[in-house]
């Protein structure tokens, strides 16, 4: 029996879960402050981003400006830095490949699929459209709403019950979203990576392993 028979809806994170684009965003945060603050500060920003990869860029920029630079940024400054970041990453994320097995899985899945991301919604939708995969999702949403609020809204609108929804992600923010919404969860985390983190839910090392678990071919599945 497929694990997916238990669910009405799957909600995926995008960067690092479906798309191999985390490195793009890591380097973008480094470049964002490199010329202005120098390589040592840019390295610190990169390290902060890696420790908080699923957090919206606006929150990270405010933290960098307030806690690392020691200034209180105006809304205009945050918008300016976020726009610079978006300009750096959008084309590169469009060019970044989906992980092995993602397209086949989504195209053959007989179950609604939605996206919940920390990327701004309009940028995310442009990326998904440019990749030609928007037809595969019943909903695509990102910041400024939190992932938790997005997934909670999906549960209300697209599913019969939170336990009939599966969230799949690669960051603690994805687990937090699932916990807030009361859904099931599977983490895709390579145990050898520096960002590996603990979760009480099932963990798989990559997307092909998730497909195997989803098909019920090993283990007992999520929950």
Mean pLDDT over 162-173 rounds to 94
d(CA 184, CA 162): 8
CATH number of 3-20+97-214, picked from 2.40.50.100, 3.40.50.1820, 3.40.50.1000, 3.30.465.10: 3.40.50.1000
Rg (CA), the chain: 17
pLDDT band at 193 (very low <50, low <70, confident <90, very high): low
With contact defined as beta carbons under 8 Å apart, do 21 and 96 qualify?
yes
- pLDDT value, residue 54: 79
Which region, left, alpha or beta, applies to residue 34 given φ > 0 means left and ψ of -120 to 50 means alpha?
alpha
DSSP helix/strand/coil, 204: strand
User: pLDDT per residue over 55-107, tens digit each?
Assistant: 889 999 999 999 999 999 999 999 999 999 999 899 999 999 999 999 999 99
Residue (of 187, 168, 193, 167) closest to 51 by Cα position: 193
User: pLDDT per residue over 112-122, tens digit each?
Assistant: 999 999 999 99
Mean pLDDT over 206-211 rounds to 96
End-to-end Cα distance, the chain = 15
d(CA 8, CA 106): 15
pLDDT band at 160 (very low <50, low <70, confident <90, very high): confident
Residue 45 pLDDT more than 70? yes
- pLDDT value, residue 22: 87
Domain map (residue ranges) of the chain: 3-20+97-214, 22-95
Q: For 13-159, where are the E strands, in sequence order?
A: 113-120, 139-143
- pLDDT value, residue 218: 45
Torsion (CA) 133, 134, 136, 138 in degrees, nearest 10: 160
Q: Which tokens sit at 138?
A: 């019943």
Least confident piece of the model among 49-58, 91-100, 172-181: 49-58
DSSP helix/strand/coil, 165: strand
């Amino acid at each position: 029996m497929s694990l997916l028979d238990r669910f009405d809806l799957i909600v995926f994170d995008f960067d690092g879960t479906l798309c191999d684009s985390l490195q793009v965003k890591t380097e973008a945060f480094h470049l964002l402050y490199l010329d202005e603050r120098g390589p040592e500060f840019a390295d610190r920003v990169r390290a902060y981003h890696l420790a908080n990869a699923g957090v919206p860029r606006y929150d990270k920029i405010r933290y960098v400006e307030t806690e690392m630079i020691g200034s209180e940024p105006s809304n205009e400054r945050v918008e300016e830095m976020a726009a610079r970041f978006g300009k750096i990453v959008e084309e590169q994320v469009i060019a970044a490949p989906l992980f092995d097995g993602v397209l086949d899985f989504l195209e053959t899945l007989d179950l609604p699929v939605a996206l919940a991301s920390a990327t701004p919604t309009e940028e995310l939708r442009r990326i998904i459209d440019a990749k030609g995969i928007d037809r595969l999702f019943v909903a695509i949403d990102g910041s400024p709403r939190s992932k938790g609020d997005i997934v909670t809204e999906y549960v209300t609108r697209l599913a019969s019950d939170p336990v009939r929804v599966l969230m799949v992600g690669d960051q603690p923010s994805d687990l937090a979203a699932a916990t807030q919404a009361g859904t099931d969860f599977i983490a895709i985390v390579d145990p050898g990576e520096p960002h590996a983190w603990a979760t009480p839910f099932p963990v798989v090392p990559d997307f092909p392993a998730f497909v195997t678990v989803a098909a019920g071919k090993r283990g007992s599945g999520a929950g």
